[in-house]
Structure 1
Amino acid sequence: MKLSRTLTALVAFGITSAAWSQSKTIYIGMNGGPMEKAYTSQVLPDFEKANNVKVVVVPGTSSDVLAKLLANRNSPQIHVAFLDDGVMARAVSMGICQKLDDTPVLKELYPFARLKDDMGAGVQLGMTGIGYNTKLFKEKGWAPPTSWMDFADPKYKGKVVFQSASSSTFGLHGFLAINRLLGGSEKNVEPGFSKWATTVGPNVVEYIPNSAKLSEMITTGEAGLFPLTPTAIGDLKDKGLPVAYVAPKEGAVLLLVDLCVVKNNPDPALAQKLAQFLLSAPAQTKAAEAGKQIPTNTQAKMTPEMDKNLGDLNALAKKVTVVDWDTINANRAQWDQRWNQQIEK
């Protein structure tokens, strides 16, 4: 019996009967690069196999993904979205997300990883702390940094690199942490802005818009001290750079990648199922193995290398500083303008 033209075409393009039998495709928005690679290689295949579906990643920054969701809010094509916590706060306030189903996995998460009213949850834990150039510190005979206020220590003059608070979450976190130690809060950033020129400012060799230039500046010895997360430090180490991470004694600043089920998505039941899977201990254990993703599920396991670099994650999590994103988002435009005119003038 001759194959039909349709089946012949499918075979010609390498589409097997197993692929043909998959009746559904589900879309997830997330950062491209290492995160996308980790999830597509080792995490999502388990869900696909168990549910006979195809999960397609729509890559982009958090702002890109949010823009897509807003543009198609009445008939969204994305079922589940990964967004940085500041952007997620905006998405929730705009009505983009629907409440997560109340399942046992939510109780396994660190309390701070559950968004208000369970409109989303943290899927990856980050902690903005201090990154430093171990080669430079050894050459100078400097002990590892311990405090956010080390950025203001005169001995680091010309060796501090600070990401712009107006364009980088790392820079914003560093500014807010120092602002707190100077007597401020998210509702009062005056101490940080007014005292910057006499504390951290004199030590800064360059303000950079994001962390892309850090590799070069670490290699040349220009960058000695900078705000960063353990995951970002791990990526730099993988490139062979001499760096280490320190959780400041006052506490690192919480930096979550959150997920939410998109409101009005084409298959809410399957989207909820995917969200619960991604929050589970098995999925987050695989994400840690594949891409050094720090879990938000307390029952998930990290790799021995991650355990060694981070130490006691539960102890670090208890000290983490949680910022007020509602206040930040309400005032961000004003802060950005002031930062650009006053700090990076």
Structure 2
Amino acid sequence: MKATLGTAVLGLSALLGTTAFAQDNTLTINSFGGAYEEAHRACVITPFEAATGAKVNVVTAYSADAFAQLRAQKAAPQFDVIHFSGGQEIVAAAEGLLAPIDKASLSNAADLYDFAKADLANGQGPAYSIAAIGLVFNTEAVPAAPTKWTDLLNPEYGEHLVLTDISNGYGMLSFLMLNQVEGGDLSNIQPGLDAVGKLLDAGAVVVSTSPEIQQEFAQNDAWIAPYASDYAFTLRKAGLPSGFVQGEEGTPASYITANLVAGRPNNELALKFIDLEISAEAQKCFAEALRYSPTNAKTELSPEVAADVAYGEAGVAGLIRFDPATIEAHRTAWVEEWNKAIAR
């Protein structure tokens, strides 16, 4: 990672040139804590501070909490750059809490895949990483490596299948994909609920958190779980034989976005920070550290890392983004129906 960080610092230094910032040389951002925040500091924050002399104040806040703070601070926002992973930027932009971004103000915007920069002019910041949802599996235990979402219905998996509760964001996306391959859509989740009922009857278990998935793989002979690509890497680091595959029918995606907060005095500096986040160097660092999928087409990954993410034109072609606004509008009702389905 040191080489990557050095490259990021050099790249940012070239990007900034000799630009002087007349405004306050301080940014306030949020990050998501834990291993993510460690990578965020290593891949972006520390190189940015080193290259600019700026100070980055980090508030540890996940997407929902960060959005609540942004709303509460509407009259006097405290964040300069705010990061979301649950689609909150769609609502925040509609409410005028985020500032539109001119693509010309980001030197790396031209290198982003189109989906990652589609709504900059509307105030939705660029996606700088993707959590790709697919099939995490025990490479030594499965009779054959899965290739598609309908493989989850394979009777051979039975009691070796782990599902994640839809109160978990990755669990929600996994369920919606299962619902889709079973013939449902965001207006009808019954096919997915019916499929879950069959899987539970066959012995599948439901967990709520990532550590519980690891426990199932480590102690309870789990073979397969629909979940995010980064977690296969987490399992492997824990000494468990695990792989990740994108299902042939498509790959649900959680977009991690960097957004410019409206009403702040130092947007120029904030845009430089966002520009580093979308750079190929920073995204390579994130992929190596956490196995998040890059959105910059120029990001170059080793075969080992590339195997764990949605990589390149072919890898991102199958990405599916279920509308976050629709999910949020129906979340309470869907959770209620889900709870009824798993109450057995």
Equivalent residue number for residue 114 of structure 1: 117
User: How far 1:163 sits from its partner (Å)?
Assistant: 0.6
Change (3 A) 1:295 1:130: same
The corresponding residue for 1:67 is: 68
CA–CA distance in structure 2, aligned partners of residues 31 and 62 of structure 1 = 8
| Corresponding position of 2:133 | 128
The Cα offsets for residues 162-192 of structure 1, whole Å up to 9 and x where unpaired, read as 1111x11221112111111121111222322
Q: Which residue of 1 aligns with 2:230?
A: 231
Please tell me whether the aligned partners of residues 297 and 312 of structure 2 are also in contact (alpha carbons under 8 angstroms): no
Is the 2:132–2:292 contact (alpha carbons within 8 Å) kept by the matching residues of 1? no
Distance 2:340 2:230 in 1: 31
Question: CA separation in 2, counterparts of 1:156 and 1:136?
Answer: 10
Deviation at 1:218, TM superposition (A): 0.7
1:244-275 CA-partner distances (Å, limit 9, x unpaired): 11111112112211111112234222212211
Q: Residue in 1 aligned with 2:205?
A: 206
Separation in 2, partners of 1:312, 1:49: 29
Q: Deviations over 1:253-307 (max 9, x none)?
A: 1221111111223422221221122112232233334443321111122244202
Aligned partners of 2:85 and 2:256 also within 8 Å: yes
Q: 5+ residue gaps in structure 1?
A: 1-21
Measured after TM superposition, the shift of residue 149 of structure 1 is: 1.4
Structure exhibiting the larger radius of gyration computed from Cα positions: 1
After the TM superposition, which parts of structure 1 deviate over 6 Å for at least 4 consecutive aligned residues? none
Q: How many residues align?
A: 318
Superposed, 1:5-16 pairs within 5 Å as: none
2: CA distance between counterparts of 1:307 and 1:259?
Answer: 23
In 1, the alpha carbon distance for the partners of 2:124 and 2:89 equals 10
State the one-letter code of the partner of 1:155. Answer: E
Deviates more, 1:312-321 or 1:187-196: 187-196
Q: Quote the Cα distance in structure 1 between the aligned partners of 2:147 and 2:67.
A: 36
1:54 is matched with 55
Q: Which residue of 1 aligns with 2:153?
A: 152
Partner of 1:271: 270
Q: What is the aligned partner in structure 2 of residue 171 from structure 1?
A: 171
Where does the alignment leave 5 or more consecutive residues of structure 2 unmatched? 1-22
Give the residue type in structure 2 aligned to 1:24: N
Contact kept, 8 Å, 2:230 with 2:308, in 1: the verdict is no
**C-alpha displacement of 1:202:** 2.2
Checking the alignment, whether the CA contact within 8 Å between 2:252 and 2:322 is kept in structure 1 is yes
Residue 115 of structure 2 aligns to which amino acid in structure 1? Answer: F
Identity of aligned residues (%): 28
How does the TM-score come out when normalised to structure 1? 0.84
Q: Secondary structure at the match of 2:145?
A: coil
CA gap of 1:289–1:130, structure 2 versus 1, over 3 A, is closer
Report the TM-score when normalising by structure 2.
0.85
Q: Distance in 1 between matches of 2:114 and 2:86?
A: 15
The two structures, once aligned, show a CA RMSD in angstroms of: 2.2
Query: In 1, distance between residues paired with 2:96 and 2:24?
Result: 29
